[in-house]
Chain A
Amino acid sequence: MKQISVKLRPDLAVIASHVAAGAKVLDVGCGDGTLMAALRDERGCDVRGLEIAPDNVAACVGQGLSAIQGDADTDLGLYPDAGFDYAILSQTLQTTKRPDIVLEELLRIGRRAFVSFPNFAHWRVRSDLLWRGRMPVTRLLPVAWYATPNIHHLTITDFRELVRERGIRVEGAWFLAGDGLIQPALANWRAEHAVFLLARDGVNPA
């Protein structure tokens, strides 16, 4: 695993260090372009972004990056099949209207996909629900239930189940807590974040 020298959000650091050098990458929900810039500058990747907020797109343009203002729920259909080596969706799956369709689109557009999301089955979340009877507000889920952009909460087990149902192969999985990687044991209790590397069964034979 090659380290990236700039300081990235932990899930982005995991993704950045596992993207092959020189790859063609689509970053869906690319934000201000931090990950794209790291992949371009340190891995020599050809990177494109899709981002919903125009200010963020402008920030990407200001770094010489290419980003299109658009919505993952509606605009992924405009991308051609297998146009990218990787499609990346970081911390966005749980905000989409149809995460399952977005996931399928990622694997149509990219030969592989990185997906990261906050784990709703982390013990602190469970504890809030069990003992306080409240929707959790945690470090990684900082917004109250009525204002959160996260409309489809999921757990690591839910995600594994979805990809199994859809015949999607897991090529890698990383789990994060307190901004560091943790071992996979009891990940659905212990991990705040998960990062998965996915591919369609039958393609990309190892």
Chain B
Amino acid sequence: MASLFTPCSETYDLPDPLPLDGGQSLDNVRIAYETYGKLNADASNAILICHATTGDQHVASPHPITGKPGWWDKMVGAGKQIDTDRFYVICPNVLGSCMGTTGPGSLAADGKPYGLRFPVITIRDMVRAHMALLDHLGVERLYAVIGGSMGGMQALSLSVNWPDRVERVLALATTAAMPVQNIAFQEVGRQAIMADPDWQQGAYYETGRAPDAGLAVARMAAHITYLSEATLSEKFGRRLQDRDAKSFGFGADFQVESYLRYQGSSFTGRFDANSYLYITRAMSYFDLGEERFGAGHNLRLSEAFAGVKARFCVVSFDTDWLYPTSESRKIAHAVNAAGAPVSFMELAAPYGHDSFLLDVPALDRVIGGFLSR
């Protein structure tokens, strides 16, 4: 695997180096993206969908590796809430990822994979790459930007850093500054990867070995945070896996253990460990106030939204303990205090953080309604 993830989407090669928040710039950036629907004559119907941590550009088309339907297939398509008969939907793979967009597994100028030579990136760097793609596609002003979780961070970053380029912002299950509990969980994931001897300081691409065990553990830990106690209890409870009694060993006795092992190992087939490091790093660095005012500022979040021109819709889920309602409420009140129109609601859904990806009819209505006018 490793650097062999072949882009099967359209790609755009940035003509200029991409400046980065870390002070460096990145040459020869390639963006892999999918589009759905048609851009109208006055380029006023474009919607940018930003994917989450380990998502990709295949929002409504089958995943090229797993063959599974697009990750938001139920929401995006002809006649669906994000109606591709009406809207031109763009979904790019984020900078640092591994589905065709330039990331640590891509080849550097010397013809070898970057590995840890890839610069640390931020959420705003990802959005800067999106903006270059929009320029290329002839989209000056988005009808809407939509994202959940890390996608929501990108949506917020776009709205405050490029306020003239978006009319509507739909931010789901997200935050304006990564909560410390999430920073902590992500550090566990990165340490699991880096503790794997096959990680080899990130230079594993051409060695025939990859830190699959570490990446699987990172995924297992993260996966728990995406679910809720209710989901785990209902789905697995304390039930045993294919056995009548505990084994008094360390096999996957419990169904939940078996499930997590499967989630971990299947993840390694579709995701690059270094990409996981870089993307979670970008998330833990995310702080919208810092993006506007630099580190150490003591301004209120509402100041960060000063001058935004979009209409906002912020949604949280009552069982999401990773990006809890309090984070969304902070965003909503800050936007409100900044004078921009904003709606906020906490929807009831049993699935924890993953609710925004799953079947929550109330969310369908909100998204359809928000985009309708």
Contacts and interface: CB of A to CB of B under 8 A. Distances in A.
Interface of A: 46, 48, 54-55, 57-58, 60-70, 75, 78-80, 83
A66 B369 contact: no
A131 to B, nearest CB: 45
Given A54-B347, A61-B370, A68-B332, A79 B337 contact: yes
Interface stretch (B20-28, B126-134, B273-281, B338-346): B338-346
Contact of A79 (B336, B343, B362): B336
A98 to B, nearest CB: 20
Contact of A78 (B336, B345, B369): B336
B372 interface: yes
Given A66-B311, A68-B333, A68-B336, 8 more contacts: A54-B346, A54-B348, A54-B362, A57-B344, A57-B345, A62-B372, A70-B344, A78-B333
A58 B366 contact: yes
B150 to A, nearest CB: 23
Interface string B46-80: 00000000000000000000000000000000000
A72 to B, nearest CB: 14
B313 interface: yes
Nearest to A62: B369
A65 B344 CA distance: 11
Most buried by A among B311, B339, B344, B348: B344
Interface of B: 311-313, 329, 332-333, 336-337, 339, 341-348, 362, 365-366, 368-370, 372-373
B343 A68 contact: yes
Contacts of A57: 343-345
Contact of A69 (B312, B346, B369): B346
B369 A48 contact: no
The 5 tightest CB contacts between A and B, nearest first, are: A62-B369, A66-B341, A64-B373, A57-B345, A69-B345
Contact of A58 (B329, B339, B342, B369): B369
10 contacts: A48-B336, A48-B341, A54-B346, A61-B369, A62-B366, A62-B370, A66-B341, A66-B342, A68-B343, A83-B337
Contacts of A54: 345-348, 362
Nearest to A54: B345
Contact of B362 (A55, A60, A64, A78): A55
A118 B339 CA distance: 32
Nearest to B170: A61
A85 to B, nearest CB: 13
Contacts of A60: 343
A80 B337 contact: yes
Nearest to A58: B366
Nearest to A78: B333
Contacts of B333: 68, 75, 78
A110 to B, nearest CB: 14
A69 B344 contact: yes
Contacts of B332: 68
B266 to A, nearest CB: 35
Most buried by A among B311, B336, B337, B372: B336
A54 B333 CA distance: 16
Nearest to A64: B373
B82 to A, nearest CB: 15
A61 B366 contact: yes
A58 B362 CA distance: 8
Contacts of A79: 336-337
Given A64-B372, A64-B373, A58 B336 contact: no
Contacts of B368: 62
A70 B336 CA distance: 13
A89 B366 CA distance: 25
Contact of A61 (B313, B329, B337, B339): B313
Contacts of B312: 66
A64 B333 CA distance: 18
A66 B366 CA distance: 12
B297 to A, nearest CB: 20
Nearest to A51: B345
A68 B372 contact: no
A58 B341 CA distance: 15
Contacts of A48: 336, 341
Contacts of B329: 70
Contacts of B344: 57, 67-70
A68 B369 contact: no
A58 B370 CA distance: 9
Nearest to B314: A68
A48 B341 CA distance: 7
A132 B112 CA distance: 90
A117 to B, nearest CB: 26
Contact of A62 (B336, B339, B365): B365
Contacts of A69: 344-346
Contacts of B348: 54
Nearest to B325: A69
Contacts of A64: 369-370, 372-373
A54 to B, nearest CB: 5
B372 A58 contact: no
